[in-house]
Amino acid sequence: MQAKKPNQDVPVRYVRGVGPAKSRNFEKLGIMTVSDLFYYLPRRYEDRSRVISIKDAQLGQMQTVVGKVEKTSIFNAFTGTNIVEMIAGDGHKKIHSVWYNQPYMKKVFSPGQKVMLYGKVELQKHLQITHPAFEIIDDGKEQNSLNIGRIVPFYSLTEKVTQRYLRKSVDNAIHSYLNGVNDNLPTHIRARRKLVDIKFALENIHFPISFDTLEKAYRRVVFEEFFILQMIMAVRRKKVRGKGIKYDVQDVLLGNFQNLFNFEFTKDQEKCIKGIEKDMTSEKPMYRLLQGDVGSGKTVVAMYAALLAVKNGYQTAVMVPTEILARQHFVTISKVFMPLGINVRLLVSGMNPELKRIVNDEIKNGEADIVVGTHSLIQEKISFNKLGLAVIDEQHKFGVNQRKKLQSKGNMPDVLVMTATPIPRSLVLTVYGDMDVSVLKEKPGSRGTVTTYWVGENKRESVYEFLKDEISEGHQAFIVCPRIKNAVGKDLKSVEEMYVNLCENVFPKNKIALIHGRLKSEEKEKIMDAFRDKKYDILLATTVVEVGVDIPNVTVMLLENAEYYGLAQLHQLRGRIGRGKHQSYCILVGDPKTESSFERLSTLTETDDGFVIAEKDLDIRGPGEFLGTRQSGLPELRFGNIAKDFSIMEDAREEAFKIVNEDPFLKDSRNEGIKSLILERFKGKIMI
């Protein structure tokens, strides 16, 4: 009878040397099982493998040396510090090791013991290593040190868990349970991608024989993590590709649509429109991400999709995160489509109740062709007659469930998700891997250029003089502050404080409007309309103007406390200007105190390419913070770095999509391991 293999998913307390009490310390690190321990990967490594003689030790370098203990002593310095000193020699030269306030170290060493020491070699009165890592070598026994004489792993720790103890626990788990680990990646994938097996990978990612084996182990573990993620993307994509609406399109539609505008479409716009048209004339539901830099013309592309839906007798819903953006889209779309007899309606919470009731009725009976709104669109009482297209703008402001609610208002409607925050390709594959992607990089030739300057507080007076000059030319300006009111202990400009000062002391001859998020919808709408009609010279605002504000006459964006904002937000705010034919200027006023805030402001002055900025933002903040709240239903990436390991991501994606295309329900015996891995990882959240 064959012995049962050890189960790597047994509780960690059964690992030799752990037990019930110490397992509670492991739980603080998220380590509940032996498998968790295997996948609790080191955060860095130290090369302690090269052992040299004491006489060859180089000052200022981290070195590993071997010698015999000659003497150990303990004494107090004149400051009262307790010092243990151990002297070791190799017959040619001696080296001193010292430990401060660790008197128990006196009993660790005995004369004649062979010791291996690792640390920074310094010259005091003699060669010395302070607080070295050490190992006592027993020549009579086989040595397999986990802490010295090798490439040594270092882990993130918690109270009562030391590096030595964690290394020993991992080593014990490897010896007792590693044989019970199943390799869930099919052999043909491992062979094609030249991946080591999982047992080799787990052992060498903790205790690598060399940096070459460490690289192979890391690639194997990261590939599996990315592979699981991409399998989920592939399964989701397959589900979306059920039978949807197949639209008919007339050859003259695009030409007639282009004639509605007084500018030529960019090549990117034409390409994106063709991609959307291909989706919508197919039986498969469209599920597409349209990402473009600020001012690249995403709204026009979405309007073509809406026109195609309306011409086929279907309704379109355009959901946006703010009322300001909703009203902006409503005005833009109405101007173009109302003359064609297309009924465009607005639905936001700040509307008159009677008007809202009328709009609700028009949506329900199919009289409303295109509805632009906020979260109001997904309220239960809103019922579409024949929703064929759901457009979601600034998608990162919405949760997954909110997007699904809008989709559920129709029967397999096409979905177009838009974002003005360019997303690095690595993140597109990670978060939106189940979608088709269209990209707008070009900007319409009719737009003016935007020059960005970064100045300190000491240049404020000259900045104000520049604003006065621009206003005297008939232009307008935004001044944006991070706060509405002053906050105790916060050295940040507030719009309320600035408003009084600007009106009374700086721009007494100019008209200034104030807008922020606490104003009622009607007030904000009234102020924006008045500013658009040039009744004000300056709009003093918080970040409520970040999206949806399109006023071609504004040529200056002055950002107070610019170091306070994230890079993507700064770029979005800058995107509110340069929308007319005039040269525009973005002025960042800030005195950064950190390296990252310095990088943000420097980057903004160096480039206006949103995709370059997005990559830099990802580099500065990391993927977790870049994305904000984690997308529901997606696994957190524990090991791989989506920027650094992008090539591994692409390989994993190719393999995952190939498998799902050939075996959508993973019924092939070769894919059983993958299926069990996904189902175990997501505990029923993912249906295959």
Residue 345 lies in a domain: yes
366 and 460 housed in the same domain: no
Query: What pLDDT, in 10s, does the model give residues 654-675?
Result: 999 999 988 888 888 888 888 8
408 and 548 housed in the same domain: no
- How far is the C-alpha of 121 from the C-alpha of 96, rounded, in Å? 10
pLDDT at 686: 57
188: exposed, middle or buried (Cβ count in 10 Å: 0-12, 13-18, 19+): exposed
Residue 190 has pLDDT above 50, yes or no: yes
pLDDT at 199: 95
Cβ-proximal residues to 169 (8 Å cutoff; 6+ apart), any chain: 12, 15, 17, 18, 26, 37
CATH of the domain at 573: 3.40.50.300
- How far is the C-alpha of 386 from the C-alpha of 409, rounded, in Å? 9
Q: Which of 562, 587, 608 is the last residue of a domain?
A: 608
% residues pLDDT > 70 (the chain): 92
Domain count, the chain: 4
Query: What pLDDT, in 10s, does the model give residues 74-93?
Result: 998 888 889 999 999 988 89
144 and 170 housed in the same domain: no
- Please spell the DSSP secondary structure of 256-305, one letter per residue: HHHTTSSSPPPHHHHHHHHHHHHHHTSSSPPEEEEEE-TTS-HHHHHHHH
Mean pLDDT of 169-182: 92
Helix (H, G, I), strand (E, B) or coil at 623: helix
494 and 587 housed in the same domain: yes
CATH of the domain at 56: 2.40.50.140
540 and 511 housed in the same domain: yes
60 and 74 housed in the same domain: yes
Residue 225 lies in a domain: no
Identify which of 597, 595, 575, 598 has the alpha carbon closest to the alpha carbon of residue 586: 575
Cβ-proximal residues to 300 (8 Å cutoff; 6+ apart), any chain: 261, 265, 269
Residue 478 lies in a domain: yes
Alpha-carbon distances, residue 532 vs 294, 373, 525, 553, 592 (angstroms): 19, 21, 10, 8, 33
- How far is the C-alpha of 60 from the C-alpha of 58, rounded, in Å? 6
Please name every residue paired with 84 in a beta bridge, in sequence order, or none if there are none: 74, 99
Residue 140 has pLDDT above 60, yes or no: no
pLDDT at 677: 76
259 and 141 housed in the same domain: no
- Axis-axis angle for helices 211-240, 646-662 (nearest 10): 40
For residue 5, give the DSSP letter.
Answer: P
Helix (H, G, I), strand (E, B) or coil at 119: strand
Q: Which of 563, 587, 608 is the last residue of a domain?
A: 608
Residue 629 has pLDDT above 70, yes or no: no
38 and 72 housed in the same domain: no
Q: What is the helix, strand, coil percentage profile of the chain, to 5?
A: 40, 20, 40
The whole-angstrom distance between residue 35's C-alpha and the CA centroid of its chain comes to 27
Residue 202 lies in a domain: no
Residue 57 lies in a domain: yes
502: exposed, middle or buried (Cβ count in 10 Å: 0-12, 13-18, 19+): buried
Mean pLDDT of 274-291: 92
Identify which of 531, 577, 530 has the alpha carbon closest to the alpha carbon of residue 557: 577
Q: Of 96-110, 130-144, 324-338, 462-476, where does mean pLDDT reach its minimum? A: 130-144
Query: What pLDDT, in 10s, does the model give residues 193-235?
Result: 999 999 999 999 999 999 999 999 999 999 998 998 888 888 8
**Assigned token pair, 388:** 């064929």
Query: What pLDDT, in 10s, does the model give residues 382-438?
Result: 999 999 999 999 766 777 788 889 989 999 999 999 988 778 877 787 777 778 889
32 and 79 housed in the same domain: no
Residue 287 identity (one-letter amino acid): Y
Q: Which of 374, 400, 419 is the last residue of a domain?
A: 419
Between 618 and 154, the higher pLDDT residue: 154
Domain span at residue 59? 50-149
For residue 210, give the DSSP letter.
Answer: S
Identify which of 656, 661, 650 has the alpha carbon closest to the alpha carbon of residue 678: 656
Cβ-proximal residues to 349 (8 Å cutoff; 6+ apart), any chain: 323, 374, 375, 376, 521
- How far is the C-alpha of 254 from the C-alpha of 234, rounded, in Å? 32
Helix (H, G, I), strand (E, B) or coil at 480: strand
Residue 172 lies in a domain: yes
436 membership: H or E segment, kind and range = strand 436-440
368 and 310 housed in the same domain: yes
pLDDT category, 310, cuts 50, 70, 90?
A: very high
199: exposed, middle or buried (Cβ count in 10 Å: 0-12, 13-18, 19+): middle
540 membership: H or E segment, kind and range = strand 538-541
Mean pLDDT of 300-325: 94
Residue 678 lies in a domain: no
Residue 164 has pLDDT above 80, yes or no: yes
406 and 504 housed in the same domain: no
402 and 463 housed in the same domain: no
Residue 80 lies in a domain: yes
